[in-house]
Amino acid sequence: MMTARNGHVLRGVLLHNEPMARHTTWRVGGPAERYYQPADIADLAEFLAQLPADEPLLWVGLGSNLLVRDGGVRGTVIATAGLLNDIEQSDATMVRVEAGVSCAKVARFCSRLGLSGAEFLAGIPGTMGGALAMNAGAFGGETWPLVVQVETLNRHGRLRVREPGEYRIGYRTVHGHADEWFVAATLRLQSGDTAAAGARIRELLDRRAASQPTQQPNAGSVFRNPPGDHAARLIESCGLKGNCIGAACVSEKHANFIVNTGAASATDIEALIARVAATVERERGVRLTPEVHIVGESGSG
């Protein structure tokens, strides 16, 4: 049992030196100095309030779109997936979703209610918190056009409700308030048809399985698409499909995916990301921007 500085009992679980390879979809990454699994938003607020003001924080959902280096993470990792997990219909066409709910679950929940507009979320292998943080998208849809309001916590544990107009939203980018993290969002959908929404989700998942290496550890798209082009096309045009460093390989199925074929290290993956970017810039004159967030300390692979 842990007690916060204000005397409140913390109900979550705090782990020390927790291997991040257990919590990332690439299945790589060194240990987190501290790893907190909150009981709910109120518990997380209490936990944040008792941390030192300069404590490094990393929020992690399903661990997709994330490369944790082999040396691990200093400070505290806040785990949300399956923990901040409430989802409920709040109005006829609105749904409130906490940050740890998987995007796929949001898509299915909305379709069962006969609400349309969230089907594309089935193709995003992360949580709502991550989708909000990067304006995640798939199959032509993006997260923020659905957002009515968000709930955030700052590092002092203060909860706030904010409107979309308080953020600058772009392609795979969201700029807003420093040291503040999304813990929930209210989404507005359209009245639709349950059967049609379910069929659309199945169609999108079939397309994803056919075009992406879903059976191998990966982190989703590695690079953002440059304006007017596709990163995968550029990478493939350079003959990089199947190119490997150690057990990290550019997918034969989709060139904008890097897969862990067995015992890849984060160092292998990061080196391959750099090689792909350098090759495309040299041969095609396009500088690719990583979509994947690379964090942590360098270490032996």
Q: How far, in whole angstroms, is CA 66 from its chain's centroid? A: 7
Q: Which two tokens stand for residue 284?
A: 């095609």
Q: For residue 111, indicate whether it is catalytic.
A: no
Radius of gyration of the chain from its Cα atoms, rounded to whole angstroms: 20
- Helix and strand counts by DSSP (H, E) for the chain: 6, 22
Measured distance CA(125)–CA(144) in Å, rounded: 17
Q: Which residue has the tokens 């075009």?
A: 211
Annotated catalytic residue within 11, 74, 155, 172: 172
Q: For residue 291, indicate whether it is catalytic.
A: yes
Q: Which two tokens stand for residue 247?
A: 């057990």
State whether residue 212 is helix, strand or coil.
coil
Annotated catalytic residue within 18, 98, 270, 291: 291
Measured distance CA(299)–CA(102) in Å, rounded: 31
Annotated catalytic residue within 102, 111, 116, 221: 221
- φ, ψ of residue 237 to 5 degrees: the values are -65, -20
Residues acting as catalytic residues: 172, 221, 291
